[in-house]
């Protein structure tokens, strides 16, 4: 199978290219950096490929799709452009029991956003099982590495680290203060919430990693479940999943002061879910690598499913 990464020199594209370059079961088509904007060469490679990864800004991704005329070329897009469109399959295999089948048969797959992946994994089972009402005023916060902001933010943080010019930038930087983050539409759509959650993301002074935390007040949940009951629902929902695990309540990781260290899934395609707190107030947290399960790892996982390969290949 031939695979082409359009945008292979961006943050996500580099990671995908790096992972695929280590495999011998695929033919990786590539383009030298000086020719990356050559329209004829790009067009030729995209239409030769069985799988095309688009690692581009939204508008560029929309334009790239129009260049792919080969009906056998299947697209995996990492941008926000198509995530809520009905013609595209949402690339989160763990979303629902039949999601893998939809991905496997699709020619157009949209990779979820990193914040959205962690949020959906944390709350979807509770909504699906009727515990978390669809009208619940959900809120979440996210601590994430600066690589999620792409080259400009990486340069900004690393320049600050090198020259010690901005103390606040070297620590944390909350953003999307108008509560209009671009992942909100997919968060709402794929959890079946009636209203978008209130979401405050914070970029931190580490390169990659992420932990998203959703606080819940149990007296407002259906049947007022205990912390243990919430944990059981999540555990049962993800039973047998390769990349999503719910940490046992008595696991030392759940009791450690560093339980929610954002970087501990880095370099993997894993997502770890924690249920913390008490029977009155519960925290459901999800940790993942924003460059792994939050982008490049998820993209390759979808590719493996689409090509009928071992889902863990290259991951």
Active site residue ranges: 114
H or E segment to which residue 186 belongs: helix 184-191
d(CA 150, CA 208): 11
- Decide: residue 34, CB within 10 A, 0-12 exposed, 13-18 middle, 19+ buried: exposed
Q: In a 3-state reduction of DSSP, which class is residue 110?
A: strand
Q: In what order do the strands lie in the sheet with 27-29?
A: 27-29, 2-6, 51-54, 74-77, 108-110, 89-90
Task: Please give the structure tokens belonging to residue 204.
Answer: 């931190």
Which residue carries 């880095």 as its tokens?
Answer: 266
d(CA 267, CA 212): 18
* Count of residues in the chain: 315
Closest CA to 118 of 189, 210, 205: 210
Which residues are 277's β-sheet partners? 282
């Amino acid at each position: 199978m031939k695979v082409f990464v359009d945008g292979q020199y961006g943050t996500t594209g580099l990671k995908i290219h790096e992972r695929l370059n280590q495999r011998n079961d695929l033919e990786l088509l590539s383009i030298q950096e000086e020719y990356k904007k050559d329209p004829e060469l790009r067009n030729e490679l995209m239409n030769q490929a069985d799988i095309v990864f688009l690692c581009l800004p939204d508008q560029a991704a929309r334009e790239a799709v129009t260049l792919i005329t080969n009906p056998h070329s299947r697209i995996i897009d990492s941008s926000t452009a198509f995530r809520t469109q009905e013609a595209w399959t949402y690339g989160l295999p763990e979303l629902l029991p039949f999601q893998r089948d939809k991905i496997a048969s699709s020619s157009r797959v949209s990779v979820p956003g990193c914040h959205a992946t962690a949020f959906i994994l944390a709350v979807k089972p509770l909504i699906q099982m009727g515990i978390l009402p669809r009208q619940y005023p959900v809120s979440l916060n996210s601590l994430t590495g600066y690589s999620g902001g792409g080259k400009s933010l990486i340069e900004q943080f690393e320049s600050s680290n090198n020259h010690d010019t901005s103390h606040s930038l070297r620590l944390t930087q909350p953003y999307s203060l108008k509560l209009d983050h671009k992942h909100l539409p997919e968060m709402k759509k794929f959890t079946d919430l009636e209203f978008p959650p209130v979401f405050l993301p914070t970029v931190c002074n580490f390169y990659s990693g992420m932990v998203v935390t959703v606080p819940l007040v149990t007296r407002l949940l259906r049947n007022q479940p205990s912390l243990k009951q919430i944990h059981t629902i999540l555990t049962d929902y993800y039973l047998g999943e390769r990349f999503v695990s719910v940490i046992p309540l008595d696991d030392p990781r759940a009791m450690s002061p560093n339980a929610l260290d954002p970087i501990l899934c880095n370099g993997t395609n894993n997502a770890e879910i924690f249920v913390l707190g008490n029977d009155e107030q519960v925290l459901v947290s999800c940790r993942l690598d924003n460059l792994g399960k939050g982008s490049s790892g998820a993209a390759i996982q979808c590719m493996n499913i689409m090509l009928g390969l071992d889902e863990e290949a290259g991951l």
